């Protein structure tokens, strides 16, 4: 990589919206240059698959923009959504041989993609990245455990309220205190029902109830406007 190419690459990273939250946040400029020699940026269209469940783990990626879903196939062939990933999240299985889940873009998405073996080698040689990756993995494990606990104890209204708040916060569409956050849902109502362990009829009823009570507005089936965040937080509590 030439000096001018390094400078352009570094400038792109410095102006990246997730630069201070991504796994590369603690790296020095020289390390960023080296990391970019093994990575590339890729744009995914909605519905495009990035990783396939059970395949050899050849890629890992950092999400720059967009929302992707993690999914698995049940024994009867149905898809089960395991979770969603947002900007700054890390995808794939470093130091692993197989991919444990499928990854598909729900919206147009941009990711930094790395060959898994190259990334593993880089992480071993650069402890700051390896440490950041461990921190990220443990934080994701904690978030998953909390989410499983909450879903096990919540009723339908609480589940949907918590889901909407989580999406607003992770996408950064508005501040934590302001109302009026406009959200375009990357999931259909059937998919939301699958994630929350509900039926589509229950999800639709809860959306209608929240709208009638002035918590949200529904300009369309895929658009939600948060009108009263405080009340929504009370419902999710």
Say which range, 50-54, 78-82, 195-199, 218-222, has the weakest mean pLDDT.
78-82
Q: How confident is the model at residue 8 (pLDDT cuts 50, 70, 90)?
A: very low
Q: State the chain's mean pLDDT as an integer.
A: 85
Q: At what angle do helices 29-38 and 127-153 cross, to 10 degrees?
A: 70
Backbone φ, ψ for residue 19 (5° rounding): -55, -40
Say which range, 3-7, 33-37, 43-47, 49-53, has the weakest mean pLDDT.
3-7
Strands 49-51, 59-65: pairing is: unpaired
Taking CA 28 as the corner, what is the angle to CA 24 and CA 31, rounded to the nearest 5 degrees? Answer: 75
Rg (CA), the chain: 19
Q: What is the Cα–Cα distance from 1 to 170, expressed in whole angstroms?
A: 35
Best CA proximity match to 218, nearest among 162, 164, 154: 164
Task: Assess whether pLDDT exceeds 60 at residue 12.
Answer: no
What is the predicted pLDDT for the residue at 77? 82
Q: What is the Cα–Cα distance from 118 to 115, expressed in whole angstroms?
A: 5
| 154-236 belongs to CATH 1.10.10.10 | yes
- pLDDT mean over 68-77: 88
DSSP for 12-47 reads HHHT-TTTTTSTTTT--HHHHHHHHHHEEEEEE-TT
Tens-digit pLDDT profile for residues 77-92: 888 888 899 988 999 8
Q: What is the Cα–Cα distance from 70 to 63, expressed in whole angstroms?
A: 13
Scanning the structure block, which residue is given the tokens 């939250």?
Answer: 21
- pLDDT mean over 1-26: 61
Indicate if 154-236 has the same CATH topology as 3-128.
no
What is the predicted pLDDT for the residue at 173? 66
- Name the percent of the chain lying above pLDDT 70: 89
The domain segmentation of the chain, as residue ranges, is 3-128, 154-236
Token pair belonging to 128: 């700051």
Task: Assess whether pLDDT exceeds 80 at residue 193.
Answer: yes
Fold for the domain defined by 3-128: Jelly Rolls (2.60.120)
pTM of the prediction? Answer: 0.81
Task: Assess whether pLDDT exceeds 80 at residue 51.
Answer: yes
Q: Where are the alpha helices (DSSP H) in 25-126?
A: 29-38, 116-125
Confirm if 107 and 66 have CB atoms less than 8 A apart. yes
What is the predicted pLDDT for the residue at 6? 47
Q: At what angle do helices 229-236 and 156-171 cross, to 10 degrees?
A: 130
- Name the percent of the chain lying above pLDDT 90: 46
Q: Across the chain, which distance is largest between two alpha carbons, in Å? A: 60
Confirm if 177 and 213 have CB atoms less than 8 A apart. no
Tens-digit pLDDT profile for residues 154-190: 899 999 999 999 888 888 765 445 678 888 999 999 9
Token pair belonging to 40: 């590339």
Q: What is the Cα–Cα distance from 73 to 57, expressed in whole angstroms?
A: 17
């Amino acid at each position: 990589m030439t000096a001018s190419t390094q400078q352009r690459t570094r400038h792109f990273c410095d102006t990246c919206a997730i630069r201070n939250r991504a796994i590369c946040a603690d790296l020095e400029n020289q390390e960023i240059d080296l990391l970019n020699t093994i990575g590339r940026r890729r744009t995914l269209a909605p519905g495009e698959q990035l990783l396939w469940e059970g395949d050899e783990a050849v890629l890992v990626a950092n999400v720059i923009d967009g929302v992707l879903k993690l999914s698995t196939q049940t024994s009867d062939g149905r898809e089960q959504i395991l979770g969603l990933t947002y900007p700054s999240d890390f995808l794939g299985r470093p130091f692993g041989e197989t991919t444990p889940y499928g990854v598909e873009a729900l919206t147009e998405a941009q990711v930094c993609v790395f060959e898994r073996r190259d990334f593993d080698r880089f992480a071993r040689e650069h402890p700051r990245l390896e440490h950041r990756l461990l921190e990220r993995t443990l934080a994701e494990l904690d978030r998953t455990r909390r989410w499983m606990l909450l879903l096990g104890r919540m009723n339908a209204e609480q589940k949907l309220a918590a889901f909407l708040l989580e999406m607003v916060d992770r996408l950064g569409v508005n501040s934590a205190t302001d109302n009026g956050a406009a959200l375009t849902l990357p999931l259909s109502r059937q998919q939301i029902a699958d994630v929350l362990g509900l039926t589509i009829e229950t999800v639709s009823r809860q959306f209608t109830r929240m709208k009638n009570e002035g918590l949200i507005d529904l300009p369309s089936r895929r658009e939600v406007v948060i009108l009263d965040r405080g009340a929504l937080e009370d419902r999710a509590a």
